[in-house]
Amino acid sequence: MFKQTTATVLALVFCSVLMAQDSPIVTSGSYSKIHQGKEAAFEKAVSAHISKWHGEGQWNQFGSRVTTGPRAGQYMIGTAGHYWKDYDNRVTTDSHDKDWSRITNTFVEESSGMNYFVKNLDASYNDRRSSMARITYYYCKPGGMGKMIEIMKKGKSASEDAKYERSVAVYILRGSGRDNVLAVVNRMDGMADMGPGSSTVRERWVAKYGEADFESASETWRGSYTASVTEIHQLVEGMTTPPSN
């Protein structure tokens, strides 16, 4: 069994009022700290597990390596694109469960425990699969999350008008042991995407809403959270179910 640590807020998504779910917007995952020196063997074992039980048409799974931030060197193992009911309906086999237990018992020193990320489709823009991602977790003040989501919605509209080429997904964190955590995921194809795009947030916002509105939104954004943590994830293809298309 995993050694449990106090849930480190990092699992991207998300305890509020349940609503009817029209789209598969739930992702779940946990962070794993691997025994030092066993990372390569861990990746090999998980890749073999994926090949046998998580191929195309089976329950999808992804694995990413955290390359920056306080959890650098850890892995996130999860599954994406689900309805809540999918978790109730999932059926596994004894051989699958025994193999996964063997992997975790052998290689995992600490785990964050499972966390759930619920995507806000109205605030997410041009979202897609990518080989890398920059994830920022915002620890929101009471009432702050709603304000930040409304700003992200306006930003989405400005990006649509500008035909901005990059992608962002907005998630609410559930089940982490801490409420009011917003996760903003910027999709990346490589480190070059850390550089400037075709336009800045300011440029797109001012073009649609004006300078004064940008300054007001910026002040509201900065005043809506108490702290933030950013990390970069590198998808490990062998530890990830291949795309269906």
How confident is the model over 146-162, as pLDDT tens digits?
999 999 999 999 999 99
**DSSP assignment of 59-122:** ---EEEEE-SSTTTT-EEEEEEEE-HHHHHH----HHHHHHHHHHHHHHEEEE---EEEEE-TT
Q: Confidence class of residue 176 from pLDDT cuts 50, 70 and 90?
A: low
Q: Which domain holds residue 194?
A: 132-232
44 with 112, same domain: the answer is yes
Averaged over 109-115, what is the pLDDT?
94
Averaged over 34-58, what is the pLDDT?
97
Q: Confidence class of residue 21 from pLDDT cuts 50, 70 and 90?
A: low
Instruction: Specify if 1 maps to a domain.
Output: no
Compute the distance between CA of residue 240 and CA of residue 234 in angstroms, rounded to an integer.
11
Averaged over 29-38, what is the pLDDT?
97
**DSSP assignment of 177-240:** S-SSEEEEEEEESSGGGGS--SS-HHHHHHHHH-HHHHHHHHHHHHTTEEEEEEEEEEE-GGGS
Dig out the tokens for 52 from the structure.
């046998």
Q: Confidence class of residue 243 from pLDDT cuts 50, 70 and 90?
A: confident
pLDDT at 177: 64
pTM equals 0.89
pLDDT at 40: 98
pLDDT at 19: 39
Instruction: Specify if 103 maps to a domain.
Output: yes
pLDDT at 49: 98
Instruction: Specify if 238 maps to a domain.
Output: no
Instruction: Specify if 47 maps to a domain.
Output: yes
Compute the distance between CA of residue 193 and CA of residue 186 in angstroms, rounded to an integer.
9
User: Which residues are registered as beta bridge partners of 128?
Assistant: none
pLDDT at 22: 73
Residue 145 scores a pLDDT above 90: yes
Residues in the chain: 245
CA-based angle 87:91:93, to the nearest 5? Answer: 140
pLDDT at 139: 96
35 with 69, same domain: the answer is yes
Averaged over 214-224, what is the pLDDT?
98
Averaged over 169-182, what is the pLDDT?
85
151 with 223, same domain: the answer is yes
**DSSP assignment of 10-56:** TS-----------S--EEEEEEEEEPTT-HHHHHHHHHHHHHHHSST
Count: domains in the chain:
2
Residue 201 scores a pLDDT above 60: yes
69 with 152, same domain: the answer is no
Q: Confidence class of residue 227 from pLDDT cuts 50, 70 and 90?
A: very high
pLDDT at 17: 30
Task: Give the domain CATH number at 202.
Answer: 3.30.70.100
Decide which of 119, 146, 167 is a domain's last residue: 119
Decide which of 85, 119, 153 is a domain's last residue: 119
Decide which of 86, 119, 152 is a domain's last residue: 119
